Amino acid sequence: MDQIAFLEPRPAVLSRRREIVADLLDLLPEGCLVHEPRELVPFETDAFVSYRRLPLAVALPETTQQVAAVLKYCHRYGVPVVPRGAGTSLAGGAIPQEDAVVIGLSKMSRILEVDFANRTATVQAGVTNLAISDAVSADGYFYAPDPSSQLACTIGGNIGMNSGGAHCLKYGVTTNNLLGVKLVLIDGTIVDLGGKALDAGGLDLLAVVCGSEGQLGIVTEATVRLIARPEGARPVLFGFDTSEEAGACVADVIGAGIIPVAIEFMDKPAIEICEAFAQAGYPMDVEALLIVEVEGSEAEMDAMLASIIEIAGRHGVKVVKECQSATEAALIWKGRKSAFGATGRIADYICMDGTVPLGQLPHVLRGTAEIVAKYGLRVANVFHAGDGNMHPLILFNANDPEDAARAEAAGNEILKLCVDAGGCLTGEHGVGIEKRDLMRHQYSEVDLVQQMAVRAAFDPQWLLNPSKVFPLEGRPAA
């Protein structure tokens, strides 16, 4: 199996390990530095568990100034830095390396200000995604991006990966809901980008920081948009005999000018896994299931559903199931959002994240099935169909190295299929290390060199999360 490589640890850093730890202990308050090897173990990987590296030390700063002090120190001595939120990255975005100091934002978890008149919340980077919505829910607001890991993942991590979620079809992903950040640059300089105004002057640096996977600086605070919660929301289940019919139905709904809040797709293996876990009430006699959520007033939801049901009818829908209560609705979403966890109970899996143009969904679903069959593996598909963001879960046995290698090879082929169909490698999980070596399939050398030049404008020495996103060979000399 071709293991994904990390950068070689810098001997000059490793040999100074004791000094570095001592210096960082001086810079930080008590209890904010982890450096005993056994205590470092929880930080050696993230949700992309096939790879792990023990970091040199883990700093857990309590303030922006402490983040700045650590970065300034690492910059001065050429020590790589890996930022970390909750460690839920599926792409290995938070996996450290032996010569790196991890900066974890978990202690910076306060909501600083909620401003309903301007519909903004200003929070520290370690606040969890769900905590923002929880804090404003009683007043009738929510924060829109909702990754499945929203109970655990942090807003800082969401900004790093430009995270999405099921409800992004209507409300957009993180970048569309982010107004400003406090960013610490690699040399310890603290800058504010954006704020409560809807757009900022100068170049839109915020846009390039969002989704930069911790390579441009460390976000310590964020100002995000709040949205008034709709009057009502209703998920409806549509069951089909084939995945192709379900895929074609999605394209037609969008093509007809109807934009529900969410359109989620599950194939038979995914339905079985999620139903066994959550007893969500999914129909079991269908090959593919769509969860379509509409929102608004009763009249509005009725009108929109009527149009969707008519379109689904043209595609041979077999079951239409409207939920009868809030509890049923919650169960439907519980089943969907626990798809990854529930799959983890029955097998090891890797989760792909390619996005394709809607018209290509049936083609890519067929291709995915063929690729997986060729490698003698199984796949469960559960994904955000409304925006073409696919999540094939390739099931394998991690105790069998050959099986694992086959899964990784199948995953790479599927991602290439997505790119060749006019799509991209990753819709919301990020490149991390997982997709790094496929970047040349999507981008030309010139495209990548331009991106790396922008990266180097922020971090000329490539100290921030250096093993990620860009293929290791062909980088500019730091």
d(CA 138, CA 136): 6
Smaller CB separation from another protein, 58 or 431:
431
Taking the complex as a whole, the smallest distance from the CB of residue 475 to another protein amounts, in Å, to 14
Query: Which parts of 236-255 interact with another protein (CB under 8 A)?
Result: 251-252, 254-255
d(CA 395, CA 177): 34
Smaller CB separation from another protein, 41 or 454:
454
Shortest CA distance to 466 belongs to which of 99, 181, 191? 99
β-bridge mates for residue 266, sequence order: 289, 382
Using CB under 8 A, pick the residue from 1, 29, 113, 140 that binds another protein. 140
Smaller CB separation from another protein, 50 or 162:
162
Taking the complex as a whole, the smallest distance from the CB of residue 443 to another protein amounts, in Å, to 7
Element housing 234 (H / E): strand 232-240
Interface region with another protein, contact rule CB under 8 A, candidates 52-60, 260-268, 400-408, 422-430: 422-430
Smaller CB separation from another protein, 230 or 283:
230
Query: Which parts of 147-206 interact with another protein (CB under 8 A)?
Result: 161-162, 164, 168-169, 172-173, 175-176, 185, 189-193, 195-205
Smaller CB separation from another protein, 70 or 251:
251
Question: Cβ-count burial of 208 within 10 angstroms (0-12 exposed, 13-18 middle, 19+ buried)?
Answer: middle
Interface region with another protein, contact rule CB under 8 A, candidates 33-41, 79-87, 272-280, 419-427: 419-427
Residue 142, token pair as written in the block: 């929510």
Taking the complex as a whole, the smallest distance from the CB of residue 64 to another protein amounts, in Å, to 14
Taking the complex as a whole, the smallest distance from the CB of residue 305 to another protein amounts, in Å, to 12
d(CA 95, CA 44): 6
Residue 388 is a binding residue for another protein (CB under 8 A): yes
Residue 173, token pair as written in the block: 């992903």
Site string for another protein, 288-317 (x = CB under 8 A): --------xx-xx--xx-------------
d(CA 94, CA 372): 28
Which residues are CB-contacts of 331 (< 8 A; sequence separation ≥ 6)? 278, 279, 280, 281
Are 419 and 445 in contact by the 8 Å Cβ rule? The answer is no
Taking the complex as a whole, the smallest distance from the CB of residue 392 to another protein amounts, in Å, to 16
Smaller CB separation from another protein, 344 or 367:
367
Residue 210 is a binding residue for another protein (CB under 8 A): yes
Using CB under 8 A, pick the residue from 26, 231, 370, 402 that binds another protein. 231
Query: Which parts of 105-134 interact with another protein (CB under 8 A)?
Result: 115-120
d(CA 212, CA 240): 39
Tell me the site size for another protein, rule CB under 8 A.
Answer: 93
Using CB under 8 A, pick the residue from 14, 22, 112, 228 that binds another protein. 228
Using CB under 8 A, pick the residue from 348, 387, 403, 408 that binds another protein. 387
Taking the complex as a whole, the smallest distance from the CB of residue 408 to another protein amounts, in Å, to 18
Taking the complex as a whole, the smallest distance from the CB of residue 423 to another protein amounts, in Å, to 5
Interface region with another protein, contact rule CB under 8 A, candidates 23-31, 210-218, 320-328, 393-401: 210-218
d(CA 465, CA 63): 21
CA-based torsion, 292, 298, 303, 309: positive or negative: positive
Query: Which parts of 430-469 interact with another protein (CB under 8 A)?
Result: 430-431, 435, 439, 442-444, 446-448, 450-451, 453-458, 469
Smaller CB separation from another protein, 254 or 342:
254
Smaller CB separation from another protein, 19 or 298:
298
**Residues for the chain: how many in total?**
478
Q: Give one DSSP letter per residue of 384-416, joined into a string.
A: EGGGTB--EEEEE-TT-HHHHHHHHHHHHHHHH
Taking the complex as a whole, the smallest distance from the CB of residue 109 to another protein amounts, in Å, to 24
Residue 315, token pair as written in the block: 């595609």
> Beta strand 319-322 with 232-240: parallel, antiparallel or unpaired?
antiparallel
Residue 306, token pair as written in the block: 């009527």
Using CB under 8 A, pick the residue from 54, 111, 258, 404 that binds another protein. 258
Site string for another protein, 327-356 (x = CB under 8 A): ----------------------------xx
CB crowding 72-91: b at 16 or more within 10 Å, else e: bbbbeeebbbbbbbbbbbbb
3-state secondary structure of 251: helix
Taking the complex as a whole, the smallest distance from the CB of residue 166 to another protein amounts, in Å, to 12
Q: How many CA atoms lie within 13 A of 232 on its CB side?
A: 13
Shortest CA distance to 146 belongs to which of 123, 128, 129, 132? 129
Residue 74, token pair as written in the block: 């690492």
Dihedral, CA of residue 251, residue 252, residue 254 and residue 255, to nearest 10? 110
Give me the residue label for tokens 């037609």: 252
Residue 467, token pair as written in the block: 């093993």
Smaller CB separation from another protein, 252 or 272:
252
Query: Which parts of 30-89 interact with another protein (CB under 8 A)?
Result: none
